[in-house]
Amino acid sequence: MKSVVIDNGSLTLSDRDTPAPGAGDVLIAVRAAGLNAADLMQRLGLYPAPAGWPQDIPGLELAGEVIAVGEGVDHSLLNKRVCAIVGGGAQSSHCVVPAEHLTLIPDNVSYEEAGGFAEAFTTAFDALVRQGKMIANDRVLISGASGGVGTAAIQIAHALGAHVIAVTRTNEHHEQLKKLGASQTITIEEVTSIERVNVILELVGAAHLNAAQHVLAPHARIVVIGVGGGGSTAELNLLNFMGTRATLTGSTLRARSREEKAEVIAHVNQVLLPLWQNGKLKVHVNKTYPFEHAGAAYDFFAERGKFGKVILSIS
């Protein structure tokens, strides 16, 4: 197989042995793989892949075709169009994935779009619904709304009946965020002027959370899954947490066990897949690069202020 390989900070396309699917796994011919902030960190040596996954092939999400199944896997999966999150190794012509981690791609969705679905939508869904206990009519503040996870979170929260307040660094992209389902779009400086919220999804970090903690409704749930844009040391008013009986939960998806990821994905397939099929959820692709030009794709991804996913297409 051909794979994007991290070699001392640079990206090369290298030949590797195509792995065989083990018991319970499938082999996927990858057609598209989305880029994520974690790939940039991994390229810099800051975010190693968890054990059991390729250590030097980046990529956390993919879409492709099942071309072989391991022992115990239902043969009806062969030739199916699927997408998945993986612990690493997605940016490759082939990838082995646990069968219970797959989501079937809706008929009307392209591989490019599907290649940008799994990581952002699974992450946003787990944070909002499984960690943050979001329910219909909750007021949900999404801090860092214009990134991949943020735009997925807006669509999920809106589709599930919540009232979405999208918070961004500047007021760019506000029209697009409203089209995705945000009822209100604000910059972080405006956060203290809004009504209190039931759920905060924190994707930026301390700088945003320090401000957003002032608008907690009783029993508010804060879920922190990113600190890259705002620093990691938050100054939190514990008396305010006591008075509102609020909860803060930190979370990551990548390092979870196979079994735990399977639970999340079963929940995604139950709740999000029907919404994706009927067009309530949509992956917005900003730009697609052939995986031979991964370096250019990473550089473009690193630029601030863009909107939508960056995808590697693999042929």
Q: Residue 20's closest CA among 93, 96, 97?
A: 96
Assigned token pair, 79: 């030739």
Q: Which of residues 139-158 bind a second copy (CB under 8 A)?
A: none
Under rule CB under 8 A, residue 251 binds a second copy: yes
Q: Which of residues 85-104 bind a second copy (CB under 8 A)?
A: none
Among 71, 74, 235, 303, binds a second copy (CB under 8 A): 235
> Alpha-carbon distance 276 to 235, whole Å?
38
- Taking the complex as a whole, the smallest distance from the CB of residue 252 to a second copy amounts, in Å, to 5
Map residue 86 onto helix, strand or coil: coil
- Taking the complex as a whole, the smallest distance from the CB of residue 244 to a second copy amounts, in Å, to 7
Nearer to a second copy, 100 or 202 (CB): 202
Map residue 185 onto helix, strand or coil: strand
How many other β-carbons are positioned within 10 Å of the β-carbon of residue 284?
Answer: 16
Number of residues lying near a second copy (CB under 8 A) = 28
Stretch that binds a second copy, among 32-40, 184-192, 226-234, 301-309 (CB under 8 A): 226-234
Nearer to a second copy, 187 or 237 (CB): 237
What residues contact 219, with CB distance under 8 A and at least 6 apart?
Answer: 198, 244, 245, 246, 247
Task: Return the C-alpha torsion angle 232, 238, 243, 245, nearest 10.
Answer: 50
The two most distant CA atoms of the chain are separated, in Å, by 58
Binding string, residues 190-219; x marks residues near a second copy by CB under 8 A:
------------x--xx--x----------
Paired residues of 138 in beta bridges: none
Nearer to a second copy, 213 or 288 (CB): 213
Q: Give yes or no for a contact between 53 and 87, defined as CB atoms under 8 angstroms apart.
A: yes
Nearer to a second copy, 127 or 297 (CB): 127
> Alpha-carbon distance 190 to 58, whole Å?
37
Under rule CB under 8 A, residue 243 binds a second copy: yes
Paired residues of 36 in beta bridges: none
Stretch that binds a second copy, among 59-67, 192-200, 244-252, 302-310 (CB under 8 A): 244-252
Stretch that binds a second copy, among 84-92, 134-142, 184-192, 228-236 (CB under 8 A): 228-236
Which residues contact a second copy by CB under 8 A? 202, 205-206, 209, 224-225, 227, 232-252
